[in-house]
């Protein structure tokens, strides 16, 4: 758990650690042989009552892939770079107030010649080569790298027993108190709730939009940083199938 949070909060500190995992790709033949007969499973749970409804089988290509921490780190840095606003801005000597006249004559005073008290080497002067408020820190990342990073994050949650599959995310009366009662039944304090489709269910959106440490996302908006930012991950049946189809189509 602490590793996932450290990866989001301090991704650059894990560069040297992740470089050591880049050699894991040489054991891909072992992982391929293991995937042929290993089938990850989890309990299908009722979201309303917490009752176990049966055993649900997951796709081994998505929920039990190799632990490519180097790929995970690349995707986290890419996401955090895209979130940067790039609006930091400083004033040049032409934008700082004052400094319109020459402070003293060019010659005859025994001092170095100066043209303005707002020159960069003066206290209170302008800044040279500073940020101008239009920086763009985003860059492109291959689709397969992003998909593999998402598979790695899902596999980490499954391996740590932090993944839960529920039937749906319906809450009675769209009431926040009812949702808090349901979360208490499952023992969920910090959780990401993922619903199937392009939009979150209106019932869960109205009841869980103002609860701290509870995030809501549709399956199409699932990303690595959101998964690693919360302790638990809750997926609906529809979300699992949509995620599996999308990632398998990209990777295989």
Give the tens place of pLDDT for each residue, 168-222. Answer: 898 888 889 999 999 999 999 999 999 988 898 888 999 988 899 999 999 999 9
Domain extent, residue 226, equals: 2-84+138-251
Residues contacting residue 149 through CB under 8 Å, at least 6 positions apart? 68, 71, 72, 74, 75, 76, 224
pLDDT band for position 5 (cuts 50, 70, 90) = low
Q: Are 224 and 164 part of one and the same domain?
A: yes
Where would I find the beta strands (DSSP E) of the chain? 41-45, 52-57, 163-166, 191-195, 214-218, 232-236
- Which pLDDT score is estimated for 3? 55
Q: Are 171 and 73 part of one and the same domain?
A: yes
Q: Are 9 and 113 part of one and the same domain?
A: no
CA-only gyration radius of the chain, Å? 26
Number of domains in the chain: 2
Determine which of 4-13, 38-47, 165-174 has the lowest per-residue pLDDT on average: 4-13
pLDDT band for position 4 (cuts 50, 70, 90) = low
Cβ atoms of residues 236 and 196 within 8 Å? yes
Q: Are 160 and 238 part of one and the same domain?
A: yes
Could you report the per-residue pLDDT of 162-177, keeping only the tens digit for each?
A: 999 999 898 888 889 9
Q: Are 63 and 18 part of one and the same domain?
A: yes
């Amino acid at each position: 758990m602490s590793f996932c949070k450290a990866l989001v909060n301090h991704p650059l500190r894990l560069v040297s650690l992740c470089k050591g995992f880049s050699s894991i790709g040489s054991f891909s033949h072992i992982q391929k042989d293991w995937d042929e007969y290993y089938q990850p499973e989890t309990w299908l749970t009722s979201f309303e009552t917490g009752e176990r409804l049966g055993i649900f089988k997951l796709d081994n290509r998505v929920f039990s892939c190799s632990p490519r921490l180097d790929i995970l780190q690349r995707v986290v840095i890419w996401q955090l770079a895209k979130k940067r606003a790039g609006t930091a801005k400083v004033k040049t000597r032409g934008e700082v107030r004052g400094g319109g006249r020459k402070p003293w004559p060019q010659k005859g005073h025994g001092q170095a010649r100066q043209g303005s008290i707002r020159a960069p080497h003066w206290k209170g002067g302008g800044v040279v080569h500073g940020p101008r408020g239009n920086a763009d820190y985003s860059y492109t990342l291959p689709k397969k790298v992003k998909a593999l990073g998402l598979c790695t994050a899902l596999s980490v949650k499954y391996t740590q027993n932090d993944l839960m599959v529920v039937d749906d995310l319906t809450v009675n009366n769209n009431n926040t108190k009812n949702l808090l009662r349901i979360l208490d039944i499952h023992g969920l304090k910090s959780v990401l709730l993922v619903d199937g489709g392009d939009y979150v269910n209106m019932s869960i959106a109205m009841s869980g939009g103002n609860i701290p440490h509870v995030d809501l996302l549709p399956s199409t908006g699932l990303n690595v940083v959101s998964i690693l930012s919360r302790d638990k991950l809750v997926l609906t049946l529809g979300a699992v199938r949509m995620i599996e189809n999308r990632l398998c189509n990209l990777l295989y």
